[in-house]
Amino acid sequence: MTAVDERTDVLEAARRAKEASVALAPLARAPKDAALHAMADALEARLDEILAANADDVARAQANGTPANLVDRLTLTASRVADMAAGLRAAAALPDPVGEVVRGYTLPNGLEVRQVRVPLGVVGIIYEARPNVTVDAAGLCLKSGNAALLRGSSSAYASNTALVAVLRDAVEASGLPADSVVLVPGESRESVKHLMRARGLVDVLIPRGGADLIRSVVEESTVPVIETGAGNCHVYVDAETDVAMAVSILLNSKTQRTSVCNAAETLLVHRDAVEAFLPAGITAMTGAGVTLHGDEAVVAAAAELGVEAVPATEDDWYAEYYSLDIAVRVVDSLDDAVDHIRRYGSSHTEAIVTTSQAAAKRFVARVDSAAVMVNASTRFTDGGEFGFGAEIGISTQKLHARGPMGLPEMTSTKYVVVGEGHVRA
């Protein structure tokens, strides 16, 4: 395929999604939920076809020497497909955000003003390895009245092609446009670039994946982007703290799952908490297999316990390890902790562990992140944990949506103003 052909194909795919979005926008909840159930049923009915396509991707990945953990993420099984189907049925059970009246009032002149939620239109999702994102994203887009324009990883192209074919057939059979779910054609990096320039056809792009992918989309896209995912989360242990609670929250934030954006990557300890907390904290972390990257005070405290901590460099404060590593620093004050977070953090989630109401209030007011936890694990920043029922990603930007994005975050609004011949004086 030539570069020109590919650009034409991507824009044509976007145009078809745009057309479908026009039909989806005014739909009531019932036909959308029916389509979601049809999609779930079809995934289960056509399991063999999906697994066969996935086997091709897996064989190709193995032949290319892809690491085992990535092959695992790529691999579909009957149980994983059943989970996808369950996700679609769960989406059907959620309230429809479209049509919600966000604000409504009558002006002194009698004009009735309502601000009503409407779909965004075409939502472009750019994502890596895991094929379950194909189904999750398609379902959440459809539930919120948006057409889904999906650009998955080339390593999962056969799987995604099969999944989208199944979903499209089901959507069409239920009476909605097949183009409610469109896979961006082509496996080259160029197809992502064409997508990023499809302003007017694509209403928003949501990149889900590694930092490099997200950075390049943010830098190059003329389509509005919602930045997701990067997470250098901090746990700050305050001067006045409950040591057992601090240890428990630290361990959970760092080790409950390391490969996720809401895992803690840095521990900050108030100087006055060093004596009471730090030995317990170091012992618990090394006991859980965590490697410490510490400043001088931390390296010394670890040595006293017979533990070897790696001296931290400037890079450690920025690091998103996504592994059993943590950077540890002693700070002179809560404000110094806030300054550290502001300088090195990614504005995702920070936690304070404190018994002081004043400290909690000051930390919450001054930390500029999507989520601030008081005496709770950073791992709670999650659409599921927040009770949203679904999550399309975690926004780390400030415009439109910040933090876990549920169905309402996949909508825009429209002002509807009703008069009786009103004109402006």
Residue ranges in contact with a second copy by CB under 8 A: 22, 25-26, 105, 107, 111, 113, 115, 118, 120-121, 199, 203-204, 218-219, 222, 224-226, 242, 245, 248-249, 251-252, 256, 342, 360, 364-366, 368-377, 379-381, 385-387, 397-400, 402-404, 412-424
Q: Kindly state the smallest distance separating residue 353's Cβ from a second copy, in Å.
A: 8
d(CA 144, CA 390): 11
Report the 10 Å Cβ neighbour count for 181.
31
Question: What are the C-alpha distances in Å from 386 to residues 32, 47, 407?
Answer: 24, 32, 13
Closest CA to 73 of 85, 61, 65: 61
Q: Which is nearer to a second copy, 189 or 424 (CB)?
A: 424
| Least spacing, CB of residue 204 vs a second copy, in Å | 6
Q: Least distance in Å: CB of 144 to a second copy?
A: 13
Q: Which is nearer to a second copy, 191 or 255 (CB)?
A: 255
**Are the C-beta atoms of residues 284 and 235 closer than 8 Å to each other?**
no
Residue 103 vs 271, nearer CB to a second copy: 103
Give, rounded to a whole angstrom, the gap between the first and last alpha carbons of the chain: 60
CB of 7 to a second copy, least distance (A): 17
Closer CB to a second copy, 84 or 371, in the complex = 371
Cα of 137 vs its chain's centroid, Å: 11
In the complex, what is the shortest distance from the CB of residue 131 to a second copy, in angstroms, rounded to a whole number? 26
Give the nearest distance from C-beta 133 to a second copy in angstroms: 21
Pairing of strands 101-106, 112-119: antiparallel
Which CB atom, from 37 or from 366, has the smaller least distance to a second copy? Answer: 366
Q: Which is nearer to a second copy, 160 or 381 (CB)?
A: 381
Minimum CB distance to a second copy, residue 245 (Å): 4
Residues 91, 140 contacting (CB under 8 angstroms):
yes
Report the residue number, 258 or 412, with the smaller CB distance to a second copy: 412
Nearest to a second copy of 95, 224 (CB atom): 224
Interatomic CA distance for residues 299 and 318, integer angstroms = 19
CB neighbour list of residue 359: distance below 8 Å, 6 or more residues apart = 238, 239, 240, 334, 352
Query: Identity (one letter) of the amino acid at 211?
Result: A
Alpha carbons within 13 angstroms on the beta-carbon side of residue 250 total 34
Which tokens sit at 80? 């994983």
Shortest CB 154 distance to a second copy, Å: 26
Non-local (6+) Cβ contacts of 114 within 8 A are: 101, 103, 104, 415, 416, 417, 418
